[in-house]
Structure 1
Amino acid sequence: MSKEFFNVRVYGILINDNNEVLISDEQEYGMRFSKFPGGGLEYGEGLTDGLKREFIEECNTEIEIINHFYTTDFFVKSAFNDSQIISVYYIVKATSNLNFITKTIMFDFDGEGEVLQSFRWVNLKDLTPDELTFPIDKHVAELLISSL
């Protein structure tokens, strides 16, 4: 019998000078998915510290938190386990050079392995919820589109 638990995740909405938002395409656990950059909070870590760590780990880029954008306000079960997902999204800006390669095609991974990741910029005027895989990210995309 599994025990249900909360899974707190934190994500950054990084918009560049060309009005494009950064999307992370990933392959892990045998599935492919697209999401905003970020990930799970580690025990003992605050939300903003966790997001800064995730951007350094995933994007090799330091960020500044501009403001809170959205926190999950509906039930979402994880696609990977029996946890309930609570996601917090922040608008962020890069405070260091962008030290990652971006692609133009979804899932255009370099190399092979169990865990793969690539990044791409999507113009905000072209952004649709279909660019993203998970229900919370789709909802955040809708909120982002309506805030333009």
Structure 2
Amino acid sequence: SYAMSTIGVGGLVVNKKREVLLVQERFAYFKNYFKLPGGCLDMGESIESGVEREVFEETGIRAHFRGILAFTYKEQFRFGHADVYFGCLMSLDENEEDQKITYDPGEIAACKWMSLDEWANSPEKHPVPITLHLARLAIDVLDGREQLLEPDRIEV
């Protein structure tokens, strides 16, 4: 047997009002739960380009990768395969702050901006523990108390 893993990414997009971009999946395990936009990397895709693509596909918002907040590993995820998930901090350029949210209603039920501080201080809004951790880490990074992880590149 061969090792099989999926690589997932979630984009914690913060605007200049310190709001976070959240989506509600149409067919979700947890109902009425807003999460970070994201998904799986395509074969050969980098974390940076993958999270930017996923955020755009799910929300219509062009956001830019700043760094990795944290990552998780689940040994048994889908179909018995392992999963590595990277939570990434993302931002908007000054001229991109007024982008209109657009999403596919076949995949996404709702999409909204919410106060990052409110989201980070509402444990009941986080049925998956990593999102609460990412929200609090993002605040610490934005306030200068923590640093982002940077993906290393090794040429072979």
- Flag whether TM exceeds 0.5 (same fold): yes
Q: Say whether 1:129 aligns with 2:130.
A: no
Shift of 1:77: 4.3
Q: Deviations over 1:81-128 (max 9, x none)?
A: 4333211122111244422169xxxxxxx96x5x33311222122122
* Counterpart residue number, 1:92: 90
Give aligned pairs, total: 136
Amino acid of the structure 1 residue aligned with 2:101: F
Partner SS, residue 137 of structure 2: helix
Which stretch of structure 1 is more off in the superposition, 44-53 or 120-129? 120-129
Shift of 1:142: 4.0
1:13-28 → structure 2 map (5 Å cutoff): 13-28=12-27
Tell me the distance in 1 between the aligned counterparts of 2:75 and 2:26. 21
Q: Say whether 1:117 aligns with 2:109.
A: yes
Which protein is richer in helix relative to its size? 2
Q: 1:76 to 1:132 in 2, by over 3 A?
A: farther
Q: CA contact under 8 A between 1:4 and 1:82: conserved in structure 2? A: no
Q: Deviations over 1:12-50 (max 9, x none)?
A: 111122221111111226653431111111112111111
* Counterpart residue number, 1:47: 47
Amino acid of the structure 2 residue aligned with 1:47: I
Amino acid of the structure 1 residue aligned with 2:14: I
Tell me the distance in 2 between the aligned counterparts of 1:23 and 1:29. 14
Aligned residues: CA RMSD: 3.1
Amino acid of the structure 2 residue aligned with 1:84: A
Q: 1:137 to 1:7 in 2, by over 3 A?
A: farther
TM-score normalised by L of structure 2: 0.68
Tell me the distance in 1 between the aligned counterparts of 2:30 and 2:46. 29
Tell me the distance in 2 between the aligned counterparts of 1:44 and 1:132. 31
Which protein is richer in strand relative to its size? 1
